[in-house]
Structure 1
Amino acid sequence: MSSFSQVRNPITGQATWQENADDYDYHQEVANAGFGDMLHDWERNQKYYAAIKKTIKRMQADGQEVHVLDIGTGTGILSMMALKAGADSVTACEAFLPMANCAAKIMSANGADKIQLIRKRSTEIQIGVDMARRANLLVAELLDTELIGEGAIGIYNHAHQELLTKDALCIPARARCYAQVATSSLAKQWNGFKLMANLDGETLLRVPSQLNECKGDAALHDLQLSQLPTESFHLFSKSVEIFEFDFQQHLEPIQKQRNKVVPLQASQPGSADMVFYWWDIDLDHESEIVLSCAPFWAHPDKDKHVAGEDKPLANSIPWRDHWMQAIYYIPKPLHLSNTKETFYLSCHHDEYSLWFDAQLKEPAESIERHHCTCDLHLINPRSRIGQLNQSLRNKRYLNYLEETTTKDSQFLVLGNSCFLGLATSGLGAASVEIYDSNSLSRRLLDSFIKFNKLENVRLLEKLEEVQDHSKLTHIFAEPYFINSILPWDNFYFGTLLLRLKDRLSEGTQISPCAARIFALPMEFLDLHKIRAPVGNCEGFDLSLFDEMVKASADKAVSSVEAQPLWEYPGRALAQPQEILRVDFANFNQELHQQGCIELVRSKECNGIALWVDWQLYPSESPKAFVSSGPSQPIEIGKFVKWDMFVRQGVHFPQSRTINASRVEWQIDFKPLLGELNFQFDLKSI
């Protein structure tokens, strides 16, 4: 039996019915469940195991039997740790059935058949029906970057009320959340919109009042904060503890909603724009085993880890991708005039999320969670908002637009939220038509049109609404489309051109005129671990888990996935190679290319980075290109600096090849079908 699902092809823009095997959804869930990178987190594994051993030994020394409950067991690793540490009984629950079935096989393969596995959510378990008795030790990993975003508060409260003894211990025992007020001209670009000026500094687009008054999105911006360049931000305060969560609840249940006001003194004058956030956990009752998610500059173990040529200071602390750090943007930046000026950080949480504000006067009451009122944050991801503000990128586009726009120019702009297209009106174009299929994006653009009184601009819901194709002198795009995930998904620009081609005059200028895909063999420090097999973890064989994930990934995961590579350091093993060139004037042409990249640096190649360079006009000058890849020239053997406002593509080789000497590649592009297929093979000497 097969099932059908509707899938939108990002290159053709067409929604088609895709036939899938009955187990396709299962394979997608398994392949993308994210268990792998947790199991590669050696510090997490070692400290969990140490806390389990210590706690069970202590409880038994006090004359207690130890009955363990493991909520959300995953592979069963924590349950097996508890059984091997001497627990009298272990009950594990897992609601994700594919993972539960895999856990059962892993437990059996590791001689842990005594573990009782319940295929339910913990909130569905009943004592006397599913469990013989209440547990007196809870081991669990229910946390995310925000700490409480996966429902930890409700799960712990239910467990204490229904499943645990009154004196039960928990691993982890408690958590603390930390905040540090900062300013960053770079990070601010992910949260607002700057006015747009021409190359002479004259304003082209003023920002409407609704954007200036908008408080933005309260949701966290999760990222690897240690990778944010230290010269790009300034700290206004020391890190401060804002909330503690007692998972053992020996005093009272965890409160679902709290607020706390923290008085701080400014370390320097300036504008307080954001809060850096992270947490740590005490894995044992006595707080002797602590795991911190702090960025490197605030990490309690920073002096124990040594940086070197092979590992920068920012990567000297243990790496993890499932628990990162976050930025929360302050609704209205707070101007601090003097060093040591007192201000107040207002901190809030509900059952699933946190939010912050900063004020000069101590607030008298709790502040409600803010939300976007201007559309910018509703329709654009953080990376796109940052891209809209990227100075060098905008300068390249404006350089082209200023040189080519005249009083007779008639523009058709294609894409979503294309403010550069709006700017052509301010550059003197006779008329501007903007095709934007997204209603919220059109509403946002319309607010700029009205605020800037751009009377020669029309917004089009459908491409068929173009008034007179023969009079168009320019077709322009960045290009950017909301449904794009990988850089080449924006080749949808070429599909739109095909719909227009026969009605355009011969002299119509098209920008970008071409696109080039580049490939770069990489040695990542850590990113490859998200797809790497686990093998053995703290003495337990997890090869069955590896086999399950690989089988599902082969069926449901693309050979190239999108990642913000600036967050994941890696060295270049060769110079980048162009592997495909697409001419938008001949977009319907099928292309097949193949070649070989010789690896200059003999290290393990564990990833192939891919990106697109957009060619704005026919010239080989660097000014004619806008890249979504490296932001600085590549130096072989050195860490690559990446564009921070777009996700690149990355291919992870399926098998490990030591001392590979070259990468053989093939690429097939069928534009009318929207198919772009990559194949990479590592070859040894």
Structure 2
Amino acid sequence: MFSRSLLKFCVKPWNLVKFSRNMSESLFTQSLNPITGKNEWVAQVDDYDYHQEVARAAFADMLHDSERNQKYYAALKKEIAKLHADGKEAHVLDIGTGTGILSMMAVKSGADSVTACEAFMPMAICAEKIMKENKMWDKIKLIKKRSTDIILGEDMDKKANVLVTEVFDTELIGEGAIGIFNHAHKHLLTDDCVVIPSLSRVYAQVAETPQTASWDKPKMFASLDGDVLLQTPKEILECKGEAGVHDIQLSQLNTGQCNFISEPIQIFEFDFMSKTPILENRTNIAKFQAKTHGTPFSIFFWWDLNMDVEGEIVLSCAPYWAHPDFPELSKLASKDKPVQNVIPWRDHWMQAIYYIPKPQMVNPGDELVLTSNHDEYSFWFDVGKTELSENIKRYTCNCSFHIANCRSRIGQLNQSLRNKKYLRIFEEEITKSSVVLSLSDGSLLGLSTAKMAKEVICLEAHRFSRECLESYVKSNKLENVKIIKSLDEVENFEKITHVVAEPYFTTSIVPWDSFYFGTLLNQIKGKLNEKVTILPKTARLFAVPVEFLDLHKIRTPLGICEGFDLRIFDKFIDTASELADQVVEAQPLWEYPCKALGEVVEVLQVNFDEFEGILERSGVVDIQYSAKCNGIAVWADFDLDGTNKPKSTVSTGPTEPVVVGSFINWDVNVRQGVHIIPNPVTVTKGCSSMAWKVTFKPLQGDIKFSFKVQ
């Protein structure tokens, strides 16, 4: 039920480790500031923890899914009416009620009694207020605890004969759905109960795409002339990787580059109506013939729900090319551009990718086996030409590389154009007499200078990244490389001729968090030779007003939803977000189509070897396209040699020039920043504008944004 985007990327970027104490009725949180690299005590309102929990919950995204709402409502009406037609009463149990909307739907559908439970206390309190506002408090019994903690005869008078629940995530079972359903059937439901939804089918499709392949393992590093700079260590190439889910908006992939080795295959069925407990561990063997020639790197994954008992009301989470409600869209699967705004959009239930441990080349007609496994909370897969029974156990990374690097970072390491920009500058600047200090986390680019320089020193404070670099050093026999945990280990700063960075750091969430490079330079500034070369030299922040097709829904007020007044919830979330969220949050914008409404504007420039003082800029950019402005996109460009020329600029933003009125093509391997406008502003070409202001205090690691569209 929770949104990947909110849970993963909306968290206050530097609130990673948190402690609290009461001092004069205030609350302090200890936080890691990614720009300074320091833990800091930050004063918060005394109920900050409460507001942060609420802001993280992401119920609004789910409730903006009108298809979900309407099909739950239709199934409740149908099943309750059937019970009444058979002369039976309908006693409904709503597990994980959230705002209480499903319970209120049950009341409106004629349920004889409704019991709701919600363990997330801030949400339970909100649900109580919403039920009272909608004059249903006397019709719904709210239990503020987990369903698995409910005691029959104490919390509930009798068993329910209708269960309605939404305890699903992108993996379907990741929130513990198996245990919840099994417990409910055993302790809380009658033998003849109706369950909404009644059944789920899980699908997998074997595919090969350049993009997903680049998210799995690192490629060889070569010079501009094609000479090998770094070979990938054998232990990384042979590692099975991580079996964990990579949740993603599959419909936004460039399907023109997708090679579908199989059709969608149903791999599991979960019968939520069954009186027999759902098994927590299963393996499914599916045999199929390869459709095309290729190497199956990936498994595309999604599921659907039968909302009613007969399966007449179906909700599908399929990508557009496999969506049963829009069969004509499958013809577009060969197009180069993703399908925009056609199938129902949802961010709480996306699709997913899983990676094949050891992909093998296949030919059309080859007999293949898809082995699918699940435990109580997750799935994992393999594909081969024989049955792969040994993969019943979940596999994990044994090379450190997949632990140290998230999927998008692996893709970034494999970006050929990006790497060539760095290598071109390195080859121009670094000679056989150079001593290089690399200040990035897990930087293969920094390590690649070993073939160009006399000596390379790599700062690597993080254990798994350090283990990765050490394996590269050993495998490539790089005798001129020294890996250090701290800058204190540098014996002679005077001999360093070049300080290089991508920059990339594991603590970075938004692009400008990598300004930590400037902080590290400040720490050694007085120790370096005056003639030292710094790469990159500068960074610039850019912003553009946009109209998102869907992303703004994670912040847009609900108001009246399916006839129920949820404005209390809107206020509840707004208050929490205002206190706990940043003005600009991180999002992978390539997954969320948006149109540019004005020209791109540079809002800040940072010089890394002058990383001090206060930088403040402001301005106004005209709106040049009439639409609804619901967001501002923000990103960083890093200028390697300070010339600001495209050939030496590495961007975390658009991959092509931004055209006003057109969709923006974003870098798929980084998260950009976005300021979402909860109440979209209708803007008119030539009459509207976006005012902006940015203040940056480098020594404090404090950057503040202000945007106003009018």
Alignment partner of 2:696 out of 669, 675, 679: 669
Task: Indicate conservation of the 8 Å contact 1:182/1:276, yes or no.
Answer: yes
Aligned match of 1:65 = 89
Which shows bigger deviation, 604-613 or 438-447?
438-447
Equivalents in 2 of 1:656, 1:567: separation in Å? Answer: 20
Aligned match of 2:565 = 541
Alignment of 1:576-655 (within 5 A): 576-655=600-679
Question: Cα RMSD over matched residues?
Answer: 1.4
Equivalents in 2 of 1:659, 1:22: separation in Å? Answer: 39
Q: CA deviation at 1:507?
A: 1.2
Aligned match of 1:349 = 374
Give the 3 Å change call, closer, same or farther, for CA 256–206 of structure 1 in structure 2.
same
Equivalents in 1 of 2:248, 2:389: separation in Å? Answer: 32
Aligned match of 1:374 = 399
Alignment of 1:254-269 (within 5 A): 254-269=278-293
Equivalents in 1 of 2:295, 2:648: separation in Å? Answer: 36
Aligned match of 1:120 = 145
Aligned match of 1:35 = 59
Are 2:342 and 1:316 equivalent residues in the alignment? yes
Alignment partner of 2:268 out of 230, 240, 243: 243
User: Which amino acid in structure 1 is aligned with residue 353 of structure 2?
Assistant: I
Equivalents in 2 of 1:404, 1:376: separation in Å? Answer: 29
Equivalents in 1 of 2:328, 2:500: separation in Å? Answer: 53
Task: Indicate conservation of the 8 Å contact 1:296/1:314, yes or no.
Answer: no
Q: CA deviation at 1:654?
A: 4.3
Aligned match of 1:461 = 485
Equivalents in 2 of 1:139, 1:145: separation in Å? Answer: 19
Aligned match of 1:302 = 326
Equivalents in 2 of 1:122, 1:198: separation in Å? Answer: 59
Are 2:77 and 1:77 equivalent residues in the alignment? no
Are 2:268 and 1:206 equivalent residues in the alignment? no
Aligned match of 2:10 = none
Give the 3 Å change call, closer, same or farther, for CA 120–676 of structure 1 in structure 2.
same
Task: Indicate conservation of the 8 Å contact 1:183/1:233, yes or no.
Answer: yes
Aligned match of 1:157 = 182
Alignment partner of 1:88 out of 112, 135, 140: 112
Aligned match of 1:6 = 30
User: Which amino acid in structure 2 is aligned with residue 333 of structure 1?
Assistant: P
Q: CA deviation at 1:24?
A: 0.7
Task: Indicate conservation of the 8 Å contact 1:67/1:90, yes or no.
Answer: yes
Q: CA deviation at 1:270?
A: 1.4
Q: Secondary structure at the match of 2:505?
A: coil
Equivalents in 2 of 1:118, 1:606: separation in Å? Answer: 37
Aligned match of 2:11 = none
Task: Indicate conservation of the 8 Å contact 1:9/1:15, yes or no.
Answer: yes
Equivalents in 1 of 2:340, 2:617: separation in Å? Answer: 39
Alignment partner of 1:253 out of 240, 260, 277: 277
Give the 3 Å change call, closer, same or farther, for CA 2–333 of structure 1 in structure 2.
same
Aligned match of 1:107 = 131
Q: Secondary structure at the match of 2:669?
A: coil
Task: Indicate conservation of the 8 Å contact 2:259/2:294, yes or no.
Answer: no
Q: CA deviation at 1:601?
A: 0.4
Are 2:480 and 1:480 equivalent residues in the alignment? no
Are 2:475 and 1:419 equivalent residues in the alignment? no
Alignment of 1:381-530 (within 5 A): 381-426=406-451, 428-530=452-554
Q: Secondary structure at the match of 1:332?
A: coil
Equivalents in 2 of 1:620, 1:300: separation in Å? Answer: 48
Aligned residues between the structures: 678
Equivalents in 2 of 1:163, 1:442: separation in Å? Answer: 51
Q: CA deviation at 1:656?
A: 3.2
Gaps of 5+ in 2: 1-24
Task: Indicate conservation of the 8 Å contact 2:163/2:193, yes or no.
Answer: yes
Task: Indicate conservation of the 8 Å contact 1:417/1:436, yes or no.
Answer: yes
Task: Indicate conservation of the 8 Å contact 1:307/1:313, yes or no.
Answer: no
Gaps of 5+ in 1: none
User: Which amino acid in structure 1 is aligned with residue 351 of structure 2?
Assistant: Q
Equivalents in 1 of 2:90, 2:180: separation in Å? Answer: 21
Are 2:24 and 1:24 equivalent residues in the alignment? no
Aligned match of 1:333 = 359
Deviations 1:187-232 (A, max 9, x none): 1111111010011111100111110110000001100000000122
Which shows bigger deviation, 311-320 or 640-649?
311-320
Aligned match of 1:560 = 584
TM-score by length of 1: 0.97
Equivalents in 2 of 1:584, 1:621: separation in Å? Answer: 18
Deviations 1:612-645 (A, max 9, x none): 0000002132111000000111111111000000
Q: Secondary structure at the match of 2:408?
A: helix
Deviations 1:642-663 (A, max 9, x none): 0000000000124432226111
Q: CA deviation at 1:84?
A: 0.5
Equivalents in 1 of 2:603, 2:29: separation in Å? Answer: 32
Q: CA deviation at 1:256?
A: 0.7
Equivalents in 2 of 1:305, 1:39: separation in Å? Answer: 26
Q: CA deviation at 1:136?
A: 0.2
Equivalents in 1 of 2:173, 2:461: separation in Å? Answer: 36
Q: Secondary structure at the match of 1:681?
A: strand
Q: Secondary structure at the match of 2:297?
A: strand
Task: Indicate conservation of the 8 Å contact 2:623/2:683, yes or no.
Answer: no
Equivalents in 2 of 1:273, 1:375: separation in Å? Answer: 20
Equivalents in 2 of 1:304, 1:97: separation in Å? Answer: 45
Task: Indicate conservation of the 8 Å contact 1:226/1:315, yes or no.
Answer: no
User: Which amino acid in structure 2 is aligned with residue 628 of structure 1?
Assistant: T
User: Which amino acid in structure 1 is aligned with residue 499 of structure 2?
Assistant: I
Alignment partner of 2:243 out of 214, 218, 224: 218
Give the 3 Å change call, closer, same or farther, for CA 366–211 of structure 1 in structure 2.
closer
Q: CA deviation at 1:389?
A: 0.5
Q: Secondary structure at the match of 1:605?
A: strand
Equivalents in 1 of 2:357, 2:346: separation in Å? Answer: 29
Identity of aligned residues (%): 54
Task: Indicate conservation of the 8 Å contact 2:557/2:678, yes or no.
Answer: no
Equivalents in 2 of 1:440, 1:295: separation in Å? Answer: 35
Alignment of 1:132-143 (within 5 A): 132-143=157-168
Q: Secondary structure at the match of 1:297?
A: helix
Equivalents in 2 of 1:307, 1:487: separation in Å? Answer: 37
Task: Indicate conservation of the 8 Å contact 1:306/1:316, yes or no.
Answer: no
Deviations 1:158-204 (A, max 9, x none): 00000000011100000000010001111111111101001111110
